[in-house]
Amino acid sequence: MIKEPFVTKEQVAEITKTWPTPFHLYDEKGIRRNAEALKKAFSWNKGYKEYFAVKATPNPFLIRILREYGCGYDCSSLTELMLSDAIGAEPGDIMFSSNDTPAEEFALADKLGAIINLDDITHIDFLEKTIGHIPETISCRYNPGGLFKISNDIMDNPGDAKYGMTTEQIFEAFKILKAKGAKEFGIHAFLASNTVTNDYYPMLAKVLFEVAVKLQKETGAHIKFINLSGGIGIPYKPDQEPNDIQVIGEGVRRVYEEVLVPAGMGDVAIYTELGRFMMGPYGCLVTTAIHEKHTHKEYIGVDACAANLMRPAMYGAYHHITVLGKENEPCSHMYDVTGSLCENNDKFAIDRMLPKIDMGDVLVIHDTGAHGFSMGYNYNGRLRSAEVLLKEDGSTQLIRRAETPSDYFATFDCFDIGKKLIAK
């Protein structure tokens, strides 16, 4: 199978006249088409809402696009709350799911009318002391423990994750919260990451729906929503079949009809918190080959580095690479594609078969639309790149400028040396 970029060599040549590489590029047409498909897939549920995982791509220009399709904001930090507020979040638009949460973050979430999703039973007292009350609508994060399997395949290991409450704890939490004045409840769980199977969401839904029925029966708490969180992945490799969101939505509907409706819970809203699925395939890192090295291996050095995309360095994650203009040439050369950091893991690809790469060739690193720019950092004093939007009409818009040395030195502005550096 061939993995084709959403941008052509000619389009990139035009873009780089204004914004030099490296930069992250986003596909507005693809983002809109995908958001519409998700909305349609869950249209059977009257209360359905997608809370976009801000952590995945915290750019207000992109989040505003999703906003047009009714999406809210999944936040897990103070700055993500502030960003969502600035974009125009209304009460109920934010789902605040965090762990090891500082008091000031709970306070701001409450002030903004966010739905607070508690990660641990001990957070009940902490929240009450922080904001002076328990919200009438509140959610708890559930972790059933053990391994999460689909057929005989282990998808992930919730029992080893730091998130969520045990089965016993969530039942106790609902009782405590109800006694303290909570009236509407939600259940949230994230049991596997980046699944490329249409079965994950329906299986997760069955686990949560069955727990919800027991919770409502045993605690008397009215369950308003069930949040399936994220976990729907994308096909990073060319030979992977993409998820079919319509099949996934239908699978969840069937389980809803089998479990919730007979229990008199046909009014429960379904929420999702998708980041990677919403944005991942609709972003790419555009970079230029600037060096070649012939030693014990063949290396191609590019002007991007792990500061621009750290997933390959951090996880050994695969990101497909297209050499623009050479899509039809044979992949006859084995390269390590590297950045300039003083770390040997600063590699976008290892032993990757690619067409012969010449200096000045432009490489597109696929599927960086989620957890790409957002995971950037400044090791070695490297600066994070610009973000550019490829609009539906083919024009482009700068949606985040590249960092400058003044940005890097900005936190020294209270010292004389910092003021000199910034001035330069």
Residues 306, 291 within the same domain: yes
Give mean pLDDT in consecutive 10-residue pieces for the chain, a chain of 424 residues: 92 97 98 98 98 98 98 98 96 96 98 98 98 98 78 59 91 98 96 90 96 97 97 95 97 98 98 97 98 98 97 95 97 98 97 98 98 96 97 97 94 82 73
- What pLDDT does residue 192 have? 85
What is the rounded CA–CA span in Å between residue 9 and residue 305? 21
Is residue 336 a contact partner of residue 351, using CB atoms and an 8 Å limit?
A: yes
By 3-state DSSP, what share of the chain in percent is helix, strand and coil, each rounded to 5? 35, 25, 40
**pTM, full prediction:** 0.95
Residues 264, 341 within the same domain: no
Residues 52, 187 within the same domain: yes
Could you list the beta-strand ranges (E) of 295-407.
298-302, 321-323, 333-338, 347-354, 362-365, 386-390, 396-400
Its domain, for residue 353, covers 281-412
Please report whether residue 315 resides in a domain: yes
Q: Which residues contact 169 (CB under 8 A, 6 or more apart)?
A: 120, 121
What is the rounded CA–CA span in Å between residue 292 and residue 300? 5
What is the rounded CA–CA span in Å between residue 187 and residue 202? 15
Please report whether residue 4 resides in a domain: no
Please report whether residue 20 resides in a domain: no
Residues 377, 252 within the same domain: no
What CATH number has the domain bearing residue 353?
2.40.37.10
180: three-class secondary structure by DSSP: coil
The pLDDT tens digits for 18-41 are 999 999 999 999 999 999 999 999
Q: How far apart are the first and last CA of the chain?
A: 50
What CATH number has the domain bearing residue 54?
3.20.20.10
What is the rounded CA–CA span in Å between residue 234 and residue 284? 14
Is residue 73 a contact partner of residue 93, using CB atoms and an 8 Å limit?
A: yes
Is residue 287 a contact partner of residue 386, using CB atoms and an 8 Å limit?
A: no
- What pLDDT does residue 76 have? 97
Residue type, 22: P
Please report whether residue 14 resides in a domain: no
Residues 47, 131 within the same domain: yes
Number of domains comprising the chain: 2
Please report whether residue 19 resides in a domain: no
Residues 249, 345 within the same domain: no
